[in-house]
């Protein structure tokens, strides 16, 4: 069976199925389509399916023309019909894995996708989970469901885990040149998954098991979460010591060994770093182990928006003003510069906290024209000299490169810069307060 599958992968006749056409699935679908594979993308969202089938993309890193070209060549189609899974040779599951309110893993999207696959699985099919999850998910949760069909893993079908490594807005590293790790249930599963990804990715690193591959992804994002938590705490310390945290970090970065710079900010955003470490923490609690670094970093990072509000309060107090009834402009609503992704953005927390304090809130973001707000929408406000005259405090939360920071400084009364975005402005530095 594996010989037949490997031959199809090698000559690009394998039909590729991808479940979930979001920030992970759509870029992956485009890469395989451009390498000559025929790709069927599956999504439960009819608007998403219709958008893609019209030749358009809602993902920052996938321009419309790439989608349109693949559609024209018959290399990509989107559908909400799971019956088409019986046509594919490979299935990549790229669905969300959020946390519940109690920070327990919500694997309902994975289970729903696996039920789709179970209903249409056939011999010689390769199934790969890409969604971030806790160690053991592929082997303990997915495998038993698929083997209920009577098919034998490693012989009749192949099951592996390969964590997505998507960094939205990264112009240097994309799907094709970001190394992949893969781990299969059996050696044949690993072999098939490795061959599959090698057709579109420059480097593929095989691991001993699916559990090891699942742990790799959690280590990567826990590393970032813990180090961001550390540097955020350093910023809190520097505030009390009357030191400039950014100056301290820049100086430490001159050391050519033993130091890697991370930078403080108003909180964590996106779908990975604020969420993934809690998958590992949750799993370890079931093994009677408390992941102290993860919990501490999570506590520090999650309270950074509140610290931003405290600093705003103090800055305004120094000007004999209160937050209540002050007009406050938040620059940047997305969680990261130069993308339109609002998921888990700390800017949204800052805006809601400001509103709770009685402030008159405004925001501007060139990548997000509106945000969901109190049952409706809050719209991005155009930056004009007339607007800025009425703003008591400008808060830079997301450091988009589209902003003219000198103009912002020149037209603002006071600025609280949580990203050190104004480091290169020439005049008006006396107005600026840094995180």
> How far is Cα 236 from Cα 384, in angstroms, rounded to an integer?
33
Taking CA atoms, 410 is separated from 39, 108, 168, 365, 391, in Å, by 51, 50, 31, 19, 13
> How far is Cα 67 from Cα 41, in angstroms, rounded to an integer?
12
> How far is Cα 98 from Cα 87, in angstroms, rounded to an integer?
30
Same fold, 2-208 and 234-434: yes
Give CATH for domain 2-208.
3.40.50.720
> How far is Cα 31 from Cα 201, in angstroms, rounded to an integer?
9
Superfamily of domain 234-434, CATH level 4: NAD(P)-binding Rossmann-like Domain (3.40.50.720)
**Where do the structural domains in the chain lie, given as residue ranges?**
2-208, 234-434
Per-residue pLDDT of the chain (435 residues; tens, 9 = 90+): 789 999 999 999 999 999 999 999 999 999 999 999 999 999 999 999 999 999 999 998 899 999 999 999 999 999 999 999 999 999 999 999 988 777 788 899 999 999 999 999 999 999 999 999 999 999 999 999 999 999 999 999 999 999 999 888 888 898 899 999 999 999 999 999 999 999 999 999 999 999 999 999 999 999 999 999 999 999 999 999 999 999 999 999 999 999 999 999 999 888 778 888 888 898 999 899 999 999 999 999 999 999 999 999 999 999 999 999 999 999 999 999 999 999 999 999 999 999 999 999 999 999 999 999 988 999 999 999 999 999 999 999 999 999 999 999 999 999 999 999 999 999 999 999 999
> How far is Cα 60 from Cα 406, in angstroms, rounded to an integer?
27
- Whether residue 272 lies in the annotated active site: yes
């Amino acid at each position: 069976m594996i010989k037949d599958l490997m031959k199809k992968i090698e000559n690009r006749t394998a039909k590729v199925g991808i479940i979930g056409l979001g920030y992970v699935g759509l870029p992956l679908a485009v890469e395989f389509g451009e390498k000559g594979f025929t790709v069927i993308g599956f999504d439960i969202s009819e608007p998403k399916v219709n958008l893609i089938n019209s030749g358009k993309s809602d993902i920052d890193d996938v321009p419309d023309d790439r989608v349109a070209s693949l559609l024209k060549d018959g290399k990509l189609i989107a559908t909400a019909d799971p019956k088409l899974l019986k046509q594919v040779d490979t299935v990549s599951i790229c669905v969300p894995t959020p946390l519940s309110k109690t920070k327990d893993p919500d694997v309902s999207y994975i289970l729903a996708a696996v039920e789709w696959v179970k209903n249409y699985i056939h011999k010689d099919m390769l199934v790969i989970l890409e969604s971030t999850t806790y160690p053991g998910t592929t082997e303990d949760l997915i495998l038993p469901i698929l083997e209920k069909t009577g098919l034998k893993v490693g012989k009749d079908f192949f099951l592996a885990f390969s964590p997505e490594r998507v960094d939205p807005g990264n112009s240097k590293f994309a799907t094709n040149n970001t190394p992949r790790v893969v781990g299969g249930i059996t050696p044949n599963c690993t072999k098939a998954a490795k061959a599959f990804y090698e057709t579109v990715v420059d480097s593929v690193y095989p691991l001993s098991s699916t559990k090891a591959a699942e742990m790799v992804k959690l280590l990567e994002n826990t590393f970032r979460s813990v180090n961001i938590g550390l540097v955020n705490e350093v910023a809190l310390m520097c505030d009390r010591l009357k030191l400039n945290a950014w100056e301290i970090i820049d100086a430490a970065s001159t050391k050519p060994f033993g130091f890697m710079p991370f930078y403080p900010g108003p909180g964590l955003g996106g779908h990975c770093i604020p969420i993934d470490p809690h998958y590992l923490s949750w799993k370890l609690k079931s093994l009677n182990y408390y992941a102290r670094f993860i919990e501490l970093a999570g506590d520090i990072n999650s309270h950074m928006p509140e610290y931003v509000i405290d600093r705003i309060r103090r800055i305004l107090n120094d000007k004999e003003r209160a937050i209540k009834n002050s007009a406050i402009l938040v620059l940047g609503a997305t969680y990261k510069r130069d993308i339109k992704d609002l998921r888990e953005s700390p800017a949204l927390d800052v805006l809601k906290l400001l509103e709770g304090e009685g402030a008159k809130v405004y925001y501007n973001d060139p990548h997000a024209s509106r945000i969901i707000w109190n049952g409706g929408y809050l719209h991005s406000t155009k930056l004009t000299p007339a607007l800025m005259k009425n703003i008591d405090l400008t808060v830079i939360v997301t450091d988009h490169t589209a902003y003219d920071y000198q103009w912002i400084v020149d037209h603002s009364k006071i600025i609280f810069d949580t990203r050190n975005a104004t480091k290169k402005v020439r005049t008006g530095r006396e107005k600026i307060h840094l995180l």
